[in-house]
Every structure is written in C-alpha cells, then in structure tokens.
Amino acid sequence: MNALPRILVIDDDPELLLETSHCLQESGYSVLGTASGVEGLHMAVEHRPELVLVTTTLSDIPGSEFCQRLKTNLNLFDSLCVVLSTQSSSFEDITRLPPCADGVIVRPIPNYEFLSRIETFLRMQRYLLDQNTFQEQSILTAVVENTDTSVWAVDQRYRLLFANSVFREENRTGLGRQIALGESVLLEALPPTEREEWINYYDRALQGEQFHFERKRKYSATTLWNEYHCGPIISKDGYAIGAVIVAHNITERKQAEEVLQRRAEELAALQSNVLEITVQHKLPDLLQTIVERAVQLLGAKSGGLYLCDREQRKVRCVVSYNTPRDFTGTVLDYGEGAAGTVAETGEPLVVDDYRLWDKRADVYEEEQPFTALLCAPMLWQNRVTGVIHVLDDVEKRHFTEFDLALLMQFASHAAIAMENTRLFETAQKEISESKRVTEALVESETWFRTLADTTTTAIFIYQGEKIVYVNRVSVQLCGYTLEEFRNMRYWEIIHPDFQDLTRERGLARQEGAAIPEHYEVKIVRKDDQERWLDFNARQIRWHGQPAVIGTAFDITERKSAEEALRQSEARTRSILRV
C-alpha cells in the first residue's frame, strides 16, 4: 500500500491554517501545519513533503525567500512549492510570483476546486519525479559504464544488486568467472581472513557509515592497488537498504609513492654519508671513509679513489677498498682506463663489463679484476681533483643512470670535504641545507600519500552552449545554485586560461569530432576560489540531440602536492650540484 501524499501547510492565519488542514485531512492526505516560515523549512527538511502550500504574508520570512530557500535545498528539490494568495491581491501581485514557486492558488476557493487543484499539483510532482528519476538513472548508468572505476552494490545479505562492466571484467580475470546478480559476493574462493574483512566493510556501510580504505589485490600474476570508497544506499524513508562500493585503481600512484620513498631513503642515506665524511679532518682517513661510504651508498661490493695531478696529467690510486688485491699506488695517465678517462673529460662513466671495454688500462689487463664499474669525478671549482670508483659483479647487477646521479651528488660533497679547513664551514652549511631539503621532500611525499578524493563525482551535461543538467556534487563543488547553472554557458565556470580550449572542445565534441576525452582543467567557483579538476567527457544524446556528459574529480590538493614536490626536488638538485 502506497504511503499517503504528505502536504505541508504554512499560514500565519490560524483560522485559514485550520480550515485548509482540515479540508486536506478529510480528503485522505497526510497534513503537517505551522504558522512559522522558519519552522516550516525545518519541517520540510525532516518530513520531505511532496507539496508545500505557503502564504506570502508570513511575518518571520517573506514568501519569496521561503520558496528560494526551499528549492535550493538539495534534499527538497523534488518538492513542489505552491503559493496561497487571496482575491484581495492585485493581478500584478499574483503574476509576480517568486521565481522558484511552482504555482498559485487564490483563496477563497470552493473545497472541490481546491482539492482538484491539489491533485493536479501532486500529479505534476509525480510526473516530474518520474522524469528526474529516469534521467538520473540514465545519467548514472552512463557514468558508471563509461569509467575505468569498478562500481558495485550489495543488499543486506551481501548479494550483488548491481555491477558495472569494470567490476565484471575484474572478477572474470581475477576469479575466473563472473558473479551473477543475486549471488553472494562473499565467494568461497576468498580466503577466510579476506572474507571477514569484507563482511566488516559491508556491515559498516549497511549501518550508514561512509569511509574509504586502500588494499592490495592480485589479478592473475599482477598485483594491483585499489582505493575503495564505501557508503550506504538510503531509501526514501531514511533506512540503509544496501551498500555501494567504488574501487579506483591507484597502482600507478602507489608505484610513484614507492619511487619517492626509495628516493627519499637514498637522499637520507646520502645526507648521512655526507655528514660523516664532513667531520673527518685527517686526509688519509677522510679518503678511506669517502670510498667506504660510496660503496655503502650504492650497495656495491668494492671501490677505489684516485687523486689527480693536473701538471703531470696523471691519476694515482690512494684508496683500494675490498678489491681482489691492494691497488694503492697505481698510476694512470690522463685518458688511460676509467679513472684516466674521467679525469681527462670531467664526465661520469658507466661500464657494464670492464673486461670487454675497449679503453681498459694495460696495468689491469692480466688480472682483469673489475667487471661492473661506476666512475664519478670529484669536481672543485670546475676542476677534477679526484675520481671515485664503485665496483660490483656484472653477474649480479648493472649500474643505472640513477646510481650514477647519486654517486655524482656524493662525489660533489666528497670534493668539498677534501679541501682545506678554510672551506670546512661552507661545506657544513651546504650539508645542513641538504638535510632541510630532504626533510621537506619526505614531508611533501607524506602529504602526497594521504591525498584522497571523496567517492562522489561531479556530473555535468551541456547541449549547445547551455548547461542542461548538473548533479548535487556539482552544486557543492562550484558554489552555484541549480537555477544559476541553467542560465550559464558551460565554459563560464572554467578559468579564463582554459575557457577558449574548453569552448572549442565542447562544441567540436558535439559535432562528432575526435576530441581527447580526458584532461585536467581549472575552474573558478562562485566565491572566486580556483579548483583543479580531473575531467572526462563523452558525447551523448539528450532529448534526441547531441550533447556532452562530463564527470569531474577535484584534484586541487594533488596538483598542489605535485607542485610542492617539484619545487622540493628542484631545490634538492640545485643544492646537491654545489
């Protein structure tokens, strides 16, 4: 049995309020009544009536303002607002209805005619509600089926109510079969621990909680990271009847975080090693420490250090650490072997297998003690003062460009540490600045890891130049009311720097042109705040005509974090090049 239509009557005339309420109740309607406009707004939010009857003569709030506040409340958008007027009002007053009012009833009016008008308004409300529901369902279906995000919903017994194509494909790939609608999502193939975790997630959502979490899953031989957003499906009566889950693939973000974490750890190790070589004062001890720390920094096996004699154009080995034999005292000409080549050119060098390299030194030809080799010049005021060698077994590793860059940074500090005590204080300042930059990088990375958007998505539809539909999240995101959106051209919310591009792409997309579907764009809210959006768009048919549907996520915090990270890395590279 359907619930009785709810009608809220707001009239500051006690007799008319009683008369109107009694007439409606006698006809079988569920009636709420009050003489206060403010209280009426609270009652409307609490009870969500299908129809609100309000007089324009309220003492606490003007009728026009009441209608405006009622219609701009997202929870009351489907409620009709009808103004109760009197025959004493002039024709001009009647025709100047509040812009948000859906109609007017002039009193006094016979009860049969009054009830007929009420039924007409309720039929209109049901029709509009059906139309809105159909459009919203069509839009939501288009959104969830045209996204790379997995979306599914379950009932209170964990049975599958809905699943988009991404969810179905992931289960076919990961589980070897698809879960049918009506089937429990808690498959027996799930490990017991994982089943318990998912039961907990579903129960939290079914109890009305909105939350998100990250977890790792294996699909075939691939490990993927997903970010899950969970929330309840609320009935019109306010009860949770199911749970919806949105899973977004964040594997690339996690991989980027891991790279950042490794870089931060390596930079921290670099800082630690630089600090250690800086406190050395005796040159022989300092040179030995430089080589040991370079080998440790790169996770290598052995190493060496050559000092340059610019006048004689020779390099001499002064440290031989963990090598097959002690090569201390070995002298090479500029251009001979790896050390001589780096001393002559001032450029770093990576040799995959020294035994096959055509510039190897004759002094090592018989023993061939080296395989994988990494060389970096120690530069001081644009002069090569020494060469650092880091050595390893070619069967175990190949040095990378990042390894070389890390050794170059270390060699720069080693060159500073090798200078006389007159430069010691300057070197200390450089190390302190390097520490601050590294800490800033770690802090920036922490911010980057904690960035998480909400599960909600902003949805726009525009046709021609006009915005014809926005959802509630769009209203919250941009700050404009629904009525204001309908009077705007779609590019007017876009930042001036992107307006021409957005206008041209939007019109071309409606004409069927091949336009990129995904890009990032900046908007300007009604309060002049600038926000970055991750925007996806696709052509659709709207009322039989071409239109564009767009979805957007707020990525302002991510863009800020990326800029901070770039600036932090730039400062780090600038300082470590000194």
For the chain, which residues make up each domain, given as ranges? 6-142, 147-249, 280-419, 458-554
Residues recorded for the chain? 578
**What amino acid is encoded at 134 in this protein?**
F
Give the β-pairing of 80-86 and 103-107.
Answer: parallel
| Percentage of residues in the chain having pLDDT higher than 90 | 19
How does 511-520 read in b/e, with b if 16+ C-beta sit within 10 Å? eeeebeeeee
Dist CA 294 CA 391 (whole Å): 10
Instruction: Annotate 394-433 with DSSP letters as a single string.
Output: TTT----HHHHHHHHHHHHHHHHHTS-GGGHHHHHHHHHH
Gyration radius of the chain's alpha carbons? 36
Characterise 562 by phi-psi region: left (phi > 0), alpha (psi -120 to 50), beta (else): alpha
CA angle 233, 238, 242 (to 5 degrees): 25
Q: Can you give the pLDDT at residue 421?
A: 38
Same-fold call for 147-249 versus 280-419: yes
Dist CA 415 CA 426 (whole Å): 13
Confidence band of 78 (pLDDT split at 50, 70, 90): confident
Q: Can you give the pLDDT at residue 267?
A: 65
Q: Select the more confidently predicted residue: 9 or 477.
A: 9
Q: Can you give the pLDDT at residue 136?
A: 57
DSSP class of 494: B
Q: Can you give the pLDDT at residue 448?
A: 29
Contact 447, 311 (CB under 8 A): no
CATH of 458-554, one of 3.30.450.20, 3.60.40.10, 3.40.50.300, 3.30.1330.60: 3.30.450.20
pLDDT tens for residues 157-212? 888 888 888 887 777 656 656 777 778 888 766 778 888 998 999 999 999 999 99
Task: Let me know if 171 is exposed, middle or buried by CB neighbors in 10 A (0-12, 13-18, 19+).
Answer: buried
- Lowest mean per-residue pLDDT among 36-45, 402-411, 413-422: 413-422
Distances (CA, A) of 246 to 71, 224, 232: 30, 15, 12
Q: CATH classification of 147-249 is 3.30.450.20, yes or no?
A: yes
Contact 434, 274 (CB under 8 A): yes
Characterise 382 by phi-psi region: left (phi > 0), alpha (psi -120 to 50), beta (else): left
DSSP class of 4: P
Distances (CA, A) of 75 to 16, 50, 242, 378, 474: 28, 12, 20, 69, 15
Comparing CA positions, the residue from 337, 347, 345 lying closest to residue 316 is: 337
In degrees and rounded to multiples of 5, residue 107 shows phi and psi of: -105, 155
- Placement of tokens 């070197």 in the chain: 427
Comparing CA positions, the residue from 238, 31, 121 lying closest to residue 129 is: 121
Distances (CA, A) of 147 to 269, 317, 320, 538: 42, 61, 59, 11
Helix axes 556-576, 251-278, angle to 10 degrees: 30
Dist CA 549 CA 461 (whole Å): 4
Per the prediction, the chain carries an average pLDDT of 80
- Lowest mean per-residue pLDDT among 314-318, 504-508, 534-538: 534-538
| Six token digits for residue 374 | 């990494």
Fold of 6-142: Rossmann fold (3.40.50)
pLDDT tens for residues 271-326? 665 665 655 567 788 888 888 888 988 888 899 999 999 899 999 999 999 888 89
Whether 259 has a pLDDT exceeding 60, the answer reads yes
Q: CATH classification of 280-419 is 3.30.465.10, yes or no?
A: no
Whether 133 has a pLDDT exceeding 70, the answer reads no
pLDDT tens for residues 546-565? 998 888 878 888 888 788 77
